[in-house]
Amino acid sequence: MSLTVVGTVAFDAIETPYGKTDKIIGGAGTHVALSASYFNKDINLISIVGDDFPQDYLDLLKKHSIDIDGIQIKKGEKTFFWKGRYHKDMNVRDTLATELNSLENFDPVVPDKYQNTDYLMLGNLTPLVQRQVIERMEKRPKLIVMDTMNFWMDIMLDELKKTISMVDVISINEEEAQQLSGKNTLVKAAKVIHAMGPKYIIIKKGAHGALLFGEGKVFSAPALPLEYAFDPTGAGDTFAGGFIGYLAKTNDISFDNMKNAVIAGSVMASFNVEKFGTERIVELTEEEINERILNFVDLTVFSLRKI
């Protein structure tokens, strides 16, 4: 089924305990679309960049069968730039710079060929833009999933809540769920966020897995214990890409299938952290993905009987 993604296409500069990169390709839209491309070949990307964004990076997206006609290239403007530094505990990071640049006045256009999309992924970017993309679709997609981050909670909470009220699934990390809900336990946080609109809530816990809440049920997915994790940047977006990519591929939005989709997201996120930025995700093979799916099965299957 067709999938449309909106989110930042960006330059990232990253520092982790294991190394440092200068401006490399990043952005929520980039990570989501690349990850989803392993499940689904009908992917559209809506975003904006400046004319400083290299053609090679756009070609990389095209190489993964991502339609980029929805990416506006703004002459004389600069591309969104994000700089982050991770602590020794890589679940903790500091944002050192967020330069909106061309994102500041982004007026998204939904190309005609993206209309009637079945699945819509609102990746992290301005909440107003996320909402405009929903409003500019002639027909409501079958499923709308959104991601966001503390940056938008801090500066435009009311706008963000309007967007949250329009989606089916929200995927956010633990601290953001606590900030958004004002609750400390994740069960309470999920209840408060559910009351804001989304039927399903995914709370990502970094290297500790993810929880899916919905229909009065909860599902817990592990993260794969990895010997080496170099850079978690984009892991949340890569997770979201695997989640929605799997749902679009299987076209089944039941809670049971969402559990599978959460594992698909976790599988993709586990690859993402193995190298810097998008480096690992762009070189994956189907065999590697299938092998890792089996690793997740081995990690969680048990046959304990009642005592």
Q: Which two tokens stand for residue 224?
A: 């794969």
Count, residues near ligand AMP per rule CB under 6 A:
17
- Phi then psi dihedrals of residue 172, to 5 deg: -140, 165
Q: Between 185 and 224, how does the x/- string for binding to ligand AMP read (CB under 6 A)?
A: ----------------------------------------
Site for ligand AMP in 43-82 (CB under 6 A): 82
Print burial letters for 43-65: b (CB count within 10 Å at least 16), e (below 16).
Answer: bbbbbbbbebbeeebbebbeebe
Print burial letters for 201-216: b (CB count within 10 Å at least 16), e (below 16).
Answer: bbbbbbbebbbbbbee
Q: Between 4 and 23, how does the x/- string for binding to ligand AMP read (CB under 6 A)?
A: ----x-x-x-----------
242 binds ligand AMP per the rule CB under 6 A: no
Binder of ligand AMP out of 234, 241, 242, 245 (CB under 6 A): 234
Site for ligand AMP in 158-177 (CB under 6 A): none
Binder of ligand AMP out of 201, 221, 235, 264 (CB under 6 A): 235
Part in contact with ligand AMP (CB under 6 A); list of ranges 45-53, 157-165, 228-236, 248-256: 228-236
Asked if residues 239 and 210 have their Cβ atoms less than 8 Å apart, the reply is yes
Asked if residues 122 and 7 have their Cβ atoms less than 8 Å apart, the reply is yes
d(CA 28, CA 247): 19
Helices 255-272, 286-300: inter-axial angle, 10-degree rounding: 120
Residue 230 beta carbon to ligand AMP: minimum distance, rounded to whole angstroms = 13
Part in contact with ligand AMP (CB under 6 A); list of ranges 38-46, 161-169, 232-240, 247-255: 232-240
Residue type present at position 135: E
Residue 11 beta carbon to ligand AMP: minimum distance, rounded to whole angstroms = 8
Binding site for ligand AMP (CB under 6 A): 8, 10, 12, 26-28, 82, 98, 124-125, 149, 151, 233-237
